[in-house]
Amino acid sequence: MNEIQQGIELPVIDMIQETAMRAKEKGARRVGILGTTGTISTGIYQAACERFDMEAVVPHEDVQAVVMSMIYDDIKAGKPADPRKMGNHPASDGRRSM
């Protein structure tokens, strides 16, 4: 990110760093990471959480398939995400592992 910032005059916001920092400021110790399968597979949010001594929790494959549907079929299609897609999955109550 520093290399990018040096090459331009406008300030650059590192969203990943800012997200992890804000979660830590809020007192988070465990953070659920929701994103595309590609984003999850890079480990970039997980690494940012580690830098702030937080545990990153990523969805199990079945939940990740639902997250992908919500991202592409709903949000990127201009519709609100449909939380009913989560059904009765244990992670849908926000208290259990994804």
Q: Which domain holds residue 66?
A: 13-85
pLDDT (0 to 100) of residue 52 = 98
Here the tokens at position 40 are 């999850």
The counts of H helices and E strands in the chain are 5, 2
Distance of CA 40 to CAs 26, 53, 60, 90, 97, Å? Answer: 22, 18, 11, 20, 16
Asked if the structure places residue 98 within a domain, the reply is: no
Q: Which span out of 25-29, 85-89, 94-98 was modeled with the highest average pLDDT? A: 25-29
SS3 assignment for 22-55: HHHHCCCCEEECCCCHHHHHHCHHHHHHHHCCCE
Average pLDDT taken over every residue of the chain: 89
Residue bearing the bigger pLDDT, 90 or 63:
63
Asked if the structure places residue 3 within a domain, the reply is: no
Asked if the structure places residue 8 within a domain, the reply is: no
Give the global pTM: 0.77
Asked if the structure places residue 95 within a domain, the reply is: no
**What is residue 61's DSSP assignment?**
H
pLDDT (0 to 100) of residue 89 = 67
Structural domains of the chain, count:
1
61-88 confidence digits (pLDDT tens): 999 999 999 999 999 999 998 888 888 7
